[in-house]
Amino acid sequence: MTDLHNLTIVGARTALDAGDLTSLELTEALLARIEHTEPRIRAFLTITAEAAREQARAADASRGNTERGPLHGIPLAIKDVICTAGVRTTCGSRILENFVPPYSATVIERLSAGGAVLLGKLNCDEFAMGSSTEASAYQTTGNPWDLSRVPGGSSGGSAAAVASGQALGTLGTDTGGSIRQPAALCGVSGLKPTYGRVSRYGLIAYGSSLDQIGPLAQTAADLAMILQVLAGHDPRDGTSAAAPVPDYRAALSGDVRGLRVGVPSEYFVEGMEPGVEQATRAAIAVLRERGAEVIEISLPYTKYALPTYYIIAPAEASANLARFDGVRYGPREPGDSMWDQIELTRGHRFGAEVRRRIMLGAYTLSAGYYDAYYKRAQQVRTLIKRDFEIAFAKVDIIAAPTSPTVAFLIGQKTDNPLAMYLSDVCTLPINLAGVPGLVVPCGFSEGLPVGLQLIGRPFDEASLLRAGDAYQRETDWHTRRPQL
């Protein structure tokens, strides 16, 4: 078989099961692809080649095991904010430079138990705070479709690795759009599960009430296979939901007849690029042609999502990042006293965007401002959540744009934080409401990918995957590959 790096997970699973391919052959092909493309893409912070080969050999040795899961022998890569025992985990930050966790996150344990092969750790905005992966302390990842442009963020390395064929699937995290926006900008599929669907144990937290781990891959069918392994209650995570996990692959019927699809006017924001709107509306039309009922809806509190998010998320970040002081782990700057060491370590080791959000969060939580900012933001969050509850009484899923623009030039927005924050205007409400969101490629504008965003009821990822898979059976956008 040639061009193994272009296989979908479904295609690789079929070849592995038929004996036409071994996991070691597939892993070697992807490691070769990484070696060939990584100098230009810069998606990886750590490559675990020898460990991956050992895992692939173990997967091949257990080929006859009837208990093999859907990811057995499949090479994947992990965003570098998820703890991996014995493998460096930096969060894209100098304050965790060379930090090696003593334990693995639950999602890593589940992947490993399922026989997945882990290729390494992927670049991201520092502590997942960013929309372009330019806030990484180590390197800027390029968009495989145009290396002068960003891959999105904060899971830019995760999206770029899939788009460039360096991994068949990846894990990212989504706090305000950090799986969905880079998936759209890189022309791949990405899923933010319902808050609580996938364990956050071992995820280094940014915003604890918003963070969610999820997969990126070429197709919705691939995402269903990864989610099948990740989903489920974890007693080590107090926010993990004890909701039953359906058979996601069984939901991929290819049929959307009778599915009610809501289209909110508020998501077609002022300043949206015409090509993005055109591709999104054309994708919705495909669902209609396949038998879905398209209904115009309103989510009136959407306009408050951006300021609400940028009060709540930095507030939670300021608390979560207080533990990074150089005292217990990570490098420590010299100082005359313990307090000097802490101040110098945090001041020198945190990047500009992380410092900005810590200061913003500390301010909104401070005496005299808590009620005016944080408490009020939480009240507005409730209204945003209620918007979705009202909408889902009328529709089954919601279809909307993912990003108002295609991938922008590296450096274009780094001096304008507000312009950068506006990149997530279509994705933030989903995190505030805790509902799931899926992105699938739906076209191109100015030669760059556009993604359709599908939003679902809490714990109804199955309907999103069903709709995304049905759309991909009718279109070929997900089969397009960048020329590298």
The residues annotated as belonging to the active site are 79, 154, 178
% helix, strand, coil for the chain, step of 5: 45, 15, 40
Residue whose structure tokens are 């145009």: 146
CA gap 441, 219 in Å, rounded: 9
Q: Residue 63 class from Cβ within 10 Å (0-12 exposed, 13-18 middle, 19+ buried)?
A: middle
3 state SS of 90: coil
Q: Are 381 and 308 in contact (CB under 8 A)?
A: yes
Structure tokens at 380: 């507005």
Edge-first strand order for the sheet with 213-217 is 44-47, 117-122, 75-79, 169-173, 213-217, 189-192, 437-445, 448-456, 397-401, 260-264, 293-297
The residues near 85 (Cβ < 8 Å, ≥ 6 apart) are 101, 102, 103, 104, 108
CA dihedral defined by 175, 421, 162, 441, rounded to 10 degrees?
Answer: 100
In Å, the largest CA–CA distance within the chain is 70
The SS3 of residue 456 is strand
Exposure string over 450-460, b if 16+ CB within 10 A, otherwise e: bbbbbbbbbbb
Question: In the numeric block, which tokens belong to residue 394?
Answer: 């009328």
- How many other CB atoms are there within 10 angstroms of residue 421's CB atom? 18
CA atoms within 13 A on the CB side of 22: 13
CA angle at residue 393 from 391 to 397, to 5 degrees?
Answer: 60
Q: How far apart are CA 366 and CA 82, in angstroms?
A: 30
CB 201 within 8 A of CB 229: no
- Kindly give, in sequence order, each residue whose CB lies less than 8 Å from that of residue 136, ignoring residues fewer than 6 positions away: 92, 123, 124, 125, 126, 130
Question: How many helices (H) and strands (E) are present in the chain, helices listed first?
Answer: 15, 11
